[in-house]
Every structure is written in C-alpha cells, then in structure tokens.
Amino acid sequence: MRCKSPMSTFRIACSRFAASLFALGTLAITAPVHADAPPPDQDAMRISSAGRSLKWNWVPPGKNERFGHAETLVHAPAEKVRQLVQDFAHYKELAESITTSRVVAHGADGSTDVYLQMGVMNNTIKFWNVTRFAPLRTEPATGEVLEGHMVHGKGNIDDCTAVWTIHSAGDGWTVLKFDILLRPGLPAPQSLIDEQLRDSAMDAVNSIHDRAQGSKDSLPYKG
C-alpha cells in the first residue's frame, strides 16, 4: 500500500475545498430570492381577535364632535368592498332605519349628492338630508377615504357627516371603518345620540361585510 505524500494530500484537500466553494457559489446564484412577507395588518389582527365587528363613540382626529364608529374585517378584496361603499343608490341596504336613498346630482368635481331619509322611533319621526360625497381620496396613513357632508339647507336636521375608510389587509382581506355624525336638531340626551350613532355605524359596516364576503361569518384572519 502506497502512502500519499504530504504534498499530494495538500493538493487533494485544496481541490476539494475549491469544489465546495464553487458549489456554494452556484447555489447562491441559482437559488431563488424570497422577499420577506409583509407583517400582518394590526387592525385586521385586532378585529379578528375580537371575533366580530367593533363599535364605539369617539372624536376622530381633525373633528370636534362625537361620532359613532364601527369597523370590520372582510374576507374579500378591497375592490369589491369599495364598489359597495360607492353604490350610493343602494344605501338603503346599509340599515333598516334608512327608508330612502337615491342619487340626485353629480358635481363637475366628481362629487355625488345623495338623498337619504331615515326613520326613528318606529318611523314616527323622519329625518332627511342631501349628503354630498367627495371623490374617493387616498391617505397614506389610513388608506382610501370616502367622506360626505350634508349640503347646507338641504335637510330637516342640523348636520350630517359620514366617513368611510378602506384599506387592504393582505391578499383577499380588507379592513372597513365607518364614522357617522348626525345632529337631529331636537333635544336628546347625548347618551341616546351616542347609542344611535354607533349602532348605525355597526349596521353599515356589517351590511357591506355580509354582501362583499357572501356570509355573516367572522373568519380567522390569515394575513
């Protein structure tokens, strides 16, 4: 049996080392590069953890009055949710209290005037107004925003503001929020007004949720 010389052993080791480096280099070149997945949406995780749509009253940033607020997680793409939010002629489907909804004008700036009539106290009292919705805009911090304000002098209430916020929460998921203010011009306890506003906001987001998703289920979020 022949013994390998030290020089021969060194050459073999160098050859194997070079081959290993070549193989690693080839893998580095040919291996696909996987981008890091975006982190899960925090709003979506919070709503999903609750297992239902959420509602409360608050003074939104930039506002000075108390609004009713509701938000929901929809297992549907943002495009489908947006389509329903902008379907002004069918706003009657947002809540049982809305008895009439119809588009009455379009502005040159892309705005839309919507006539809305609502019944309260088993329809013994009816409120109506024309709300002008500005074109959809995009806010970097919040997503797409659709905001409407009562047209001055067109209604039997003092004021009305409605704000939709839509943002994608991943493939096939959308977070939808709604803020509503209505000042009826009648004396009423703030607690009663708060309750009506947050319940109306909840009805609105749930209506969009159920129609966009095709079910009432609150599905587990997979961002």
Please report which helix (H) or strand (E) contains residue 29, including its range. Answer: helix 6-30
Percent of the chain's residues with pLDDT above 70: 83
CB 68 within 8 A of CB 198: yes
Over residues 146-163, the mean pLDDT reads 97
Q: Are 206 and 53 in contact (CB under 8 A)?
A: yes
What's the mean pLDDT when you consider all of the chain? 88
3-state DSSP call for residue 79?
A: helix
pLDDT reading at 2 higher than 60 = no
Kindly state whether residue 147 falls inside one of the protein's structural domains.
yes
Give, in order, the Cα–Cα distances in Å from 203 to each of 47, 54, 64.
16, 11, 24
pLDDT at 5: 53
- CB-CB neighbours of 92 under 10 Å: 16
35 in any annotated domain: no
Residue 195 lies in a domain: yes
- Residue 62 is part of which domain span? 42-213
| Residue 32 domain-assigned (yes or no) | no
Count of domains in the chain? 1
- Contact residues for 71 (Cβ-Cβ < 8 A; gap 6+): 43, 47, 53, 54, 55, 175, 176, 177, 178, 205
Q: Please state whether the predicted TM-score (pTM) of the whole model is above 0.85.
A: no
Q: Quick one: pLDDT at residue 134?
A: 98
Mean pLDDT along residues 192-196: 93
pLDDT at 188: 86
DSSP 92: G
pLDDT at 21: 42
CATH number at residue 191: 3.30.530.20
Q: With respect to residue 181, please indicate whether it lies within any of the assigned structural domains.
A: yes
- Residue 211 pLDDT > 80: yes
User: pLDDT value at position 37?
Assistant: 65
pLDDT at 120 over 90: no
Q: How far apart are CA 206 and CA 200, in angstroms?
A: 10
pLDDT at 14 over 70: no
Q: How far apart are CA 205 and CA 200, in angstroms?
A: 9
More confident residue, 17 or 112: 112
pLDDT value at 17 more than 90: no
pLDDT for 35 beyond 90: no
Residue 62 lies in a domain: yes
Band (pLDDT 50/70/90 cuts) for residue 223 is confident
Asked whether the beta carbons of 71 and 87 are under 8 A apart, the reply is no
Please tell me the predicted confidence (pLDDT) of residue 186: 86
Question: Model confidence over 78-101: pLDDT tens digits?
Answer: 999 999 999 999 999 999 999 999
**24 belongs to a structural domain:** no
Mean pLDDT across the stretch 208-219?
97
Residue 155: inside a domain: yes
